[in-house]
Structure 1
Amino acid sequence: MIQGVLLVSAYQATFTSNGTTYHYYDINAWAQEQHFDVTQLPYSLRVLLEMTLRQQKAAPTPFLTWPQAAADIAFKPERVILQDFTGVPALVDLAAMRSQLATTGGDPAAINPDVPVDLIIDHSVQVDRAGDDAAFQTNIEKEFARNHERYQFLKWAQQAFKNLRIVPPDTGIIHQINLEYLASVVRTTTEGSTHWAFPDTVVGTDSHTTMVNALGVLGWGVGGIEAEASMLGEASFMQIPQVVGVRLSNQLPEGTTATDLALTVTKLLRAHNVVGKFVEFYGPGLAALSIADRATIANMAPEYGATASFFPIDQQTLNYLKLTNRSAEQIQLISDYAHQNHLFHETDAHCHYSETETLDLATIVPSLAGPNRPQDLVPLTALKHQFTSTETLAVTIDQQNFQLRRGDLAIAAITSCTNTSNPSLLLTAGLIAQKAVAAGLQVPAYVKTSFAPGSKVVTAYLAAAGLQSALDQLGFNLVGYGCTTCIGNSGQLKPEMQAAVAATDFPIAAIESGNRNFSGRVNPLVKDTYLASPPLVLAYALAGTLRINLATEPLGYDHDGQPVFLKDLWPAASAVSALIQQNVTAATFKREYASLLTANKTWNALIAPTGNSYAWQNDSTYIALPPFFQQLTHHQGLPELTGLRVLAKFGDSITTDHISPAGFIGQNTPAGKYLQAQNVAPKDFNSYGSRRGNHHVMMRGTLANIRIRNQITPEKEGGYTRYWPTNEQLPIFDAATKYQAAGTGLVILAGKDYGMGSSRDWAAKGVKLLGVKAVIAESFERIHRANLVMMGVLPLQFQAGENATRLGLNGSETFAISFSEHTAHVVATDAAGHQTKFTARLRFDTPTDMTYYENDGILPLVLRRKAHLA
């Protein structure tokens, strides 16, 4: 190691910025010694190269053979960012580690974040009230009433843990705050009298952490389990990824938006198969894309499957940092360092990519995506043709009688980090609203409208531009600053619609400016959800339906009964640009972010416990001491598993929403029954996402999505299975409980892309606690595969061309699994004694996966190390 340190010291260099001399690790100095041209390396990999050189204090030789040979590197981000749905269980685990150490005579304070951690409370506000001026305050009051225990716990954590900063509720969405305020792009530290500069890197417990890639900050979403490990100083091992270069040319046509572009990119790259890869954008079209437009694309990276979606630092980056009130000194430092260490984008750069795609921006057309996958692109002109059903629903609202058909809207929401960080999109929507109001247009009474921006800057510039009042008049009043509809916090439909749709199971629709539209996610009563830009959300809301061609048909009629078309309302790009210049200013960002941590008076007044160890309350239905650390078991190698029964058999595209839903808790579900047994009334159930600090609720919610389809019980939609010993049809939790009582281990069979979607740790924790020993799937989404390993659950992958159905497996079999190196040998025996034998690949993808598994997961491993038991 001493030789390694001496070796790497040769690659240290200095530069001066703002009169201060900074040391840095010069990636080109190392490359030149290796006769390696660092300028051919993608910019995203240059960041990884610098990290490897600096953190490992050894030469990063794996980069010399990229992309021909796969090689592993350690990734230790400089900071971690959490949202509250995933942040609460992460901090509950850390608190549980402290409690476990205390019981063994250790020091609880040994469990503490080693890197800066920001937790933004943005996932708890629900759209209980919408469409009027009282909505915002009403929703806040209900949010605090519902989440009092959770917020008390977070306040305790704020005083108990070092390196933890909590952004209070009702201030903004995690990714927009990261983009506009938290991200430094280049970080500095001082050791003695020596100043160091290095790239800002981040992981977050929300898959859309990739949004910050727009600024040239490398980072991505991880499961809460991996984030906890990063918080505690553990490196994540990863193969140096393949990098897909996307060459952009020309510029967007008039009348199209960054959302249209992002949805097109999503379709393009999902088809290309970028799962587990980096995407990096380059080409002559790059310079014309603002950071806000880039952020809209980068935010959608999980939807097209990429680990990261990187835009190198360039002049647009520096312009945006100035706009968002970063200091002149910081901007100069970023420019100096990025130029000095080959991280500033050169327009004539000739990076070598492992694969390439091209996209002509001039070909982008107005589009939507749906009805339940973000990659299913639909041109605006073709949307109407997706709704051919003649089924009708009669409903009376505000003394108006409506005969609704499939494609008519129950929800129209301008929401989500994806689009509300983009002033062009929101000002366009505001100008459309202004013209619509002037023409006398109104949104039909059956549509629930809402507006949930990502930061207070948005409402400030909309008000300054005189546009918020027009949005209010159409029902797009502020409902909260948070991830509302897109996460499933849409609240109930309008009362008459709620009753009518629930009684008939009518296929009502929704439109949102979000990034996720998986079945059952936005609202359990909504069948068809489409993603679209804020202007299109507003336009379709005025029409009241998706069953319309907005390019040729009027969306309404004015005071004089004359038709009003979308083209009549759509503003010129020059008008939008003028409003941005006038109203989106550094002074606005400075004013709104000055009180980010102190503005919420309700949060400030909240009284919470203190001390190093958390005082667990046995009767709490929100925060409970999890069982993960109470018995620290250890495996030697890979055990032979026998007598496994199939808990569930799934097809393709099972999402983490299916495995661990975030939204509505049904009254008659195992979780609902548990809460009622704890004297919680159904009106106070809140959501699964808000109760992730309580494993009793989350175990019962595992595989409980109302839209999940278990092929073992094809006749019943939802979280049901067959308990094979008695052939009973039971809720999955009830069956798993019976299996555990009998000492029977479980297996899940699945198709392609198992675990796609949000980075949800409970999707792995839940199946672990249900007794699942292995998941055998055709393929896994990156984050979920890692989470399974980190919880001590084996991810096994069918051989190419094989799956459970092709092998003739119906789920009634008993499974035995043995191992030789990275191959699993599976024997499935049916009731008649017939055996089906096949091999599967053990998806241990990094050098530490076996260590995690042998320790029953990464968190017990970390606790052992902290307690000096490893």
Structure 2
Amino acid sequence: MTLNVAQKLIRSHLVHGDMKPGEEIGISIDQTLTQDATGTLMMLELEAMGLDRARTEVNVQYIDHNLIQEDYRNPDDHLFLRSAAQRFGLWYSRPGNGVSHPCHQENFGKPGKTLLGSDSHTPAGGAMGMLAIGAGGLEVALAIAGEPFFTRMPQIWGVKLTGHLPDWVSAKDVILEMLRRHGVDGGVGRIIEYYGPGLDTLSAMDRHVIANMGGELGATTTVFPSDQEVRRFLRAWNREADWAELVADTGAAYDVQDEIDLAGLEPLIAMPCSPDNVRPVREVTGETIYQAYLGSSANPGYRDFAVTAMMVRSRPVHERVSFDVNPTSRAQLETLVRDGHIASLLHAGARLHQAGCNGCIGMGQAPATNGLSLRTVPRNFPGRSGNREDRVCLVSPETATASAITGVITDPRTLGMPFPHIADPDDPIVRQDMFVPPLPPEMASGVALEKGPNIASLPALEPLPDVIEAPVLLKVGDNVSTDEIMPAGARVRPFRSNIPEIAGFAFERIDPTYAARAKQVAGHIVVGGSNYGQGSSREHAALAPRFLELRAVVVKSLARIHAQNLVNFGVLPLVFSHPEDYDDIRAADILRLDNAHQALAEGDHLTIVNVTRGRTLEVHHFMSPRQIEYVLRGGLVNWMIERLSRSAGPQDA
């Protein structure tokens, strides 16, 4: 039987189910990745479960999101995460070491392995021939405890690449082309696998750019083969021994097909306020910009900064433009310093920030009111930058820099300068001393968790009631993102380890009265449109409303990670069987579901009564028997506590 790369990765880790699209499968996990915005809660979940020590091969806790130390909250969390990493047996990446995804590729990524990360851009690891999937922190906690990761077997979407990228066109334009063609939900239920002769022209970090933003298509993950380019990358980072070839068999088939001629691409731009609002740059040139922003996990490579440095050596940036440069790993930063590129950027007017996520997730570098911001980040959802009135565009480093030079949106092909051909170096400065290794088990068991005053243990969640009768507290439209359910930014993120406090910000951008109203009722329901919960994996978007007694969401369709996060915290994820029923529900209507336990046990179709209007509506769910058990028990933590109490070792689910 011929297999593609994705099928090989799944088959080699399959512990439950069959590889049939739509069937539930369980796969063993080799590595995990967490960052500080989601890791604090995950560590509290490990504590609540009573885990003794991590049972996966490699686990890394990164500090990259919450680096601003304007008060005690973020530094307290850094110390808590360091102590938790030592207690449970994880690597710890120190603040300032860099963004999790490029740092992981540089130091830990290994072809043929599975990686589960509590960040929706974890699929960037697919650039290395890994099966790298983003999930909620609770699922990552289970993987650390030795449990399989469960999901529906995706379709495999083969995208054949041919040709060679023209000058002034780069990897960001490849993924923007995919978004232009297929939209933010085009990859739902699919793994994207790139193959073909065009791969030979893309570096490992180019592939990282494309794999990172596959999440914006809604894809489960993105996969590239492990070929000689991956071998070259690992050799440069002193890890050639970790390389193994992993390519598709000759004649391997795909469930869905697409093809991109790289030579036919041009500079593209995603206009506000969605990653799929993509147009050719040449169609929107001339509008004044306020900011050009370089960096983030979506464009983290050496060449992304070096090309920019070469472009501004003779032409400094426009005096009106805030030219923000965010290095993505300390090792890359030191290499860029060594090669003179940082000096060129600073001389041209760049504002150099520490290695981390920073403005990508609204932690500083917010644009001015209504000021157009051209960024190399992966997302431009409304308000994500830290400014409610933001106008963020997604572009390549070449387009961002050309526009910074002129002060207006500019097609880089019109600058009249030669294209600076830059390759990733074969001799980067390797900085592994910024990682604190796991302690030996005998020392780890004696480590006490360092909890500052803002760190609260995980709240207890009661089981699902058999009768749910509650008001529709909120009705929202299509494509509501987790940024809108639970905002990012410097004002909110410091409370990520304090659920009672962070719950007050839930749905704030949609309805500032939501949290206060939720506290006045004993349970409530949210009704939504299509692609509800797209975007970030942050489980606070499920847990905070659940803390406010959200019992169910009833929507036209759900994004994968958020749907699982709702299940993990005991919230019923329900889908309209007849989407037009959405129009018949009003905010404040009372909905009732009788005999919920029996209805869930008997099938995937349920009947809800709109008590206010005297009507019934049919809904269904996509939960497996395992997920139903989680919901009935009040969430995955309750389920796992019972499981660990029954056995000291992992068992098949």
- TM-score, scaled relative to structure 2: 0.92
Q: Please show how residues 545-624 of structure 1 align to structure 2 within 5 Å.
A: 545-546=408-409, 549-550=410-411, 566-573=414-421, 576-577=422-423, 580=424, 584-586=425-427, 588-589=428-429, 592-597=430-435, 611=446, 614=449, 620=453, 622-624=454-456
Residue matched to 2:589: 813
Q: Please show how residues 527-538 of structure 1 align to structure 2 within 5 Å.
A: 527-538=390-401
Once residues 59 and 432 of structure 2 are traced to their aligned partners in structure 1, the CA distance between those partners, rounded to angstroms, is 19
Once residues 143 and 167 of structure 1 are traced to their aligned partners in structure 2, the CA distance between those partners, rounded to angstroms, is 21
Once residues 451 and 96 of structure 2 are traced to their aligned partners in structure 1, the CA distance between those partners, rounded to angstroms, is 27
State the Cα distance separating 1:435 from its structure 2 match.
Answer: 2.1
Deviations along 1:733-773, one digit per CA (max 9) or x if unpaired, are 1111111xxxx321000000000001011011011111111
Residue matched to 1:659: 485
Q: Please show how residues 245-284 of structure 1 align to structure 2 within 5 Å.
A: 245-270=158-183, 273-284=186-197
Residue matched to 2:441: none
* Cα distance change, pair 598–852 in 1 and its aligned pair in 2 (3 A): closer
Once residues 218 and 185 of structure 2 are traced to their aligned partners in structure 1, the CA distance between those partners, rounded to angstroms, is 10
Residue matched to 2:298: 418
Q: Is the 8 A contact 1:508 1:525 kept in 2?
A: no
Once residues 242 and 504 of structure 2 are traced to their aligned partners in structure 1, the CA distance between those partners, rounded to angstroms, is 48
For 1:471, give the aligned amino acid. Answer: L
Residue matched to 1:173: 99
Query: Which residue of the other structure, out of 108, 111, 122, is the alignment partner of 2:64?
Result: 122
* Cα distance change, pair 325–615 in 1 and its aligned pair in 2 (3 A): closer
Q: Is the 8 A contact 2:83 2:450 kept in 1?
A: no
Residue matched to 1:365: 266
Once residues 253 and 174 of structure 2 are traced to their aligned partners in structure 1, the CA distance between those partners, rounded to angstroms, is 25
Deviations along 1:207-227, one digit per CA (max 9) or x if unpaired, are 111111011011110011211
State the Cα distance separating 1:420 from its structure 2 match.
Answer: 1.9
The reply to whether residue 444 of structure 1 matches residue 333 of structure 2 is no
Deviations along 1:647-684, one digit per CA (max 9) or x if unpaired, are 1100001000011111143xxxxxxxxxxxxxxxxxxx
For 1:73, give the aligned amino acid. Answer: I
Q: Is the 8 A contact 1:434 1:467 kept in 2?
A: no
The reply to whether residue 457 of structure 1 matches residue 331 of structure 2 is yes
Residue matched to 1:723: none
Query: Which residue of the other structure, out of 599, 612, 619, is the alignment partner of 1:840?
Result: 619
Deviations along 1:253-288, one digit per CA (max 9) or x if unpaired, are 122111111211222343782212111112222222
Once residues 261 and 645 of structure 1 are traced to their aligned partners in structure 2, the CA distance between those partners, rounded to angstroms, is 45
Once residues 208 and 244 of structure 1 are traced to their aligned partners in structure 2, the CA distance between those partners, rounded to angstroms, is 18
Q: Is the 8 A contact 1:237 1:847 kept in 2?
A: no
* Cα distance change, pair 525–755 in 1 and its aligned pair in 2 (3 A): closer
The reply to whether residue 330 of structure 1 matches residue 242 of structure 2 is yes
The reply to whether residue 91 of structure 1 matches residue 91 of structure 2 is no
State the Cα distance separating 1:466 from its structure 2 match.
Answer: 2.4
Residue matched to 2:440: none
Once residues 803 and 473 of structure 1 are traced to their aligned partners in structure 2, the CA distance between those partners, rounded to angstroms, is 59
Once residues 482 and 842 of structure 1 are traced to their aligned partners in structure 2, the CA distance between those partners, rounded to angstroms, is 38
The reply to whether residue 112 of structure 1 matches residue 53 of structure 2 is yes
Q: Is the 8 A contact 1:88 1:692 kept in 2?
A: yes
Q: Please show how residues 299-310 of structure 1 align to structure 2 within 5 Å.
A: 299-310=212-223
Q: Is the 8 A contact 1:435 1:569 kept in 2?
A: no
Deviations along 1:152-176, one digit per CA (max 9) or x if unpaired, are 2123213322x21111010111000
Q: Is the 8 A contact 1:657 1:757 kept in 2?
A: yes
For 1:822, give the aligned amino acid. Answer: D
Q: Secondary structure at the match of 1:73?
A: strand
Residue matched to 2:539: 761
Q: Secondary structure at the match of 1:417?
A: coil
Once residues 47 and 152 of structure 1 are traced to their aligned partners in structure 2, the CA distance between those partners, rounded to angstroms, is 36
* Cα distance change, pair 51–213 in 1 and its aligned pair in 2 (3 A): same
* Structure 1: tracts of 5 or more residues without a match: 1-36, 99-109, 127-141, 186-198, 386-406, 502-506, 552-564, 600-608, 666-687, 709-718, 721-730
Q: Secondary structure at the match of 1:319?
A: helix
Deviations along 1:411-467, one digit per CA (max 9) or x if unpaired, are 32112011122x333221111011214xxxx4224x332211111232233333322
State the Cα distance separating 1:146 from its structure 2 match.
Answer: 5.2
Query: Which residue of the other structure, out of 599, 607, 611, is the alignment partner of 1:829?
Result: 611
Residue matched to 2:348: 474
Q: Secondary structure at the match of 1:752?
A: coil
State the Cα distance separating 1:304 from its structure 2 match.
Answer: 0.9
Q: Please show how residues 154-553 of structure 1 align to structure 2 within 5 Å.
A: 154-161=81-88, 163-185=89-111, 199-270=112-183, 273-327=186-240, 329-331=241-243, 334=244, 338=245, 343-345=246-248, 349-384=250-285, 408-421=288-301, 423-437=302-316, 442-445=317-320, 447-491=321-365, 501=369, 507-546=370-409, 549-550=410-411
Residue matched to 1:15: none
Once residues 594 and 550 of structure 1 are traced to their aligned partners in structure 2, the CA distance between those partners, rounded to angstroms, is 39
* Cα distance change, pair 325–304 in 1 and its aligned pair in 2 (3 A): same
How many residues are matched?
A: 635
Deviations along 1:549-583, one digit per CA (max 9) or x if unpaired, are 546xxxxxxxxxxxxx843235243xx24xx4xxx
Q: Secondary structure at the match of 1:593?
A: coil
Q: Secondary structure at the match of 1:568?
A: coil
For 1:767, give the aligned amino acid. Answer: P
For 1:649, give the aligned amino acid. Answer: K
* Cα distance change, pair 330–821 in 1 and its aligned pair in 2 (3 A): closer
* Bigger-Rg structure (1/2): 1
Once residues 461 and 566 of structure 1 are traced to their aligned partners in structure 2, the CA distance between those partners, rounded to angstroms, is 30
Residue matched to 1:649: 475
* Cα distance change, pair 550–183 in 1 and its aligned pair in 2 (3 A): closer
Once residues 448 and 634 of structure 2 are traced to their aligned partners in structure 1, the CA distance between those partners, rounded to angstroms, is 24
Q: Is the 8 A contact 2:79 2:450 kept in 1?
A: no
Question: How large is the RMSD of aligned CA atoms in angstroms?
Answer: 2.5
Once residues 301 and 217 of structure 1 are traced to their aligned partners in structure 2, the CA distance between those partners, rounded to angstroms, is 14
* Cα distance change, pair 480–821 in 1 and its aligned pair in 2 (3 A): same
Q: Secondary structure at the match of 1:374?
A: coil
The reply to whether residue 42 of structure 1 matches residue 4 of structure 2 is yes
Deviations along 1:144-198, one digit per CA (max 9) or x if unpaired, are 865221122123213322x21111010111000111111122xxxxxxxxxxxxx
Q: Secondary structure at the match of 1:356?
A: strand
For 1:112, give the aligned amino acid. Answer: R
State the Cα distance separating 1:490 from its structure 2 match.
Answer: 2.3
Once residues 210 and 285 of structure 1 are traced to their aligned partners in structure 2, the CA distance between those partners, rounded to angstroms, is 20
State the Cα distance separating 1:477 from its structure 2 match.
Answer: 3.7
Q: Percent identity?
A: 27
